[in-house]
Amino acid sequence: MKVLISVDMEGVSGIVHPAETNPDGHDYAHGRALMTAEANAVIAGVLDAEPTAEVRVADAHGSFRNLLPEELDRRAHLVRGKPRPLGMLGGLDEQTDAVLLVGYHARAGGGPAVLAHTMNDGILDVRVAGRSMGEIGLNAAMAGHLGVPVVLLSGDDSACAELQELLPSAVTVAVKQALGQGAAVALHPEEARERLRHAAAEAITRCGQVSPLSLAGPFDVEVDLSTPFMVDLATLVPAVARREGGRTVSFTAADFADAYRLVLLLAQLATIRPS
């Protein structure tokens, strides 16, 4: 069995503030340790259920250089650094049997939800065929395009609800209850890790009961950007057009892989500031 564990940071138990997720923050070192420990709990759960599984762990937060390599369970292979094919799903291929999303957060505009956003602060919303999708939906659909189901997600209660709306059969673990963008009632980290280990084993055991999120194209995609400058940059991409209203761009993609890659590119363009 081949498994990909994609690990973000904002949905880790105990984390509620950008200072814990940003390399410039004074609590970032602690956030990295919490993130790595949750990844290890999920690795252990996967291998409890399937001792011979090949496990890849994709560092999926910010720079993709947050997990502590020397602290990660040595039985897993770490996918680290950027840019890379498939972004947060780096290491995914058609031979993968299951994807597990750990430490994920709700989409921009969702909530109440801890540190909710979509890709970065430059993107206000992504709509695929009229449906608002954050990182959870985009990654689940990208995995589904390759025929791979997302079988587990952990994060706050809003993130869990976001996946359950798309894949009701997937296992979710709410490691904290959101009180707002920067506040939550969180499980003790050790309790969260225990639940994650058990849930990961359960998710792998019932993997065959979760269908991939398969969406039929072509796809009309709209992206709301936070500044006119970002819109100007986005429209330099030949496939992207400006919509009325000043902050929205759109494009049509033949399949979800094309849609996903172009959203990743727009997210990267949205980090550029006027010089």
**Any alpha helices (H) in 186-237, and if so which ranges?**
189-205, 228-234
Q: Tell me the two tokens of residue 194.
A: 């225990």
Q: How far is CA 165 from CA 120, 132, 162, 207, 245, in A?
A: 23, 12, 5, 18, 30
Annotated catalytic residue, options 30, 117, 188, 198: 117
Q: How many CB atoms lie within 10 A of CB 125?
A: 17
Active site residue 145: no
SS3 265: helix
CA atoms within 13 A on the CB side of 191: 8
E strand or H helix that includes residue 219? strand 219-225
Tokens found for residue 19 = 């200072």
Distance between CA 272 and CA 259 in Å, rounded?
21
What SS3 state is found at 264? helix
Query: For residue 240, what are its two tokens?
Result: 């992207």
Task: Tally the residues of the chain.
Answer: 275
Supply φ then ψ for residue 216, to 5 degrees: -90, 130
Residues known to be catalytic: 117
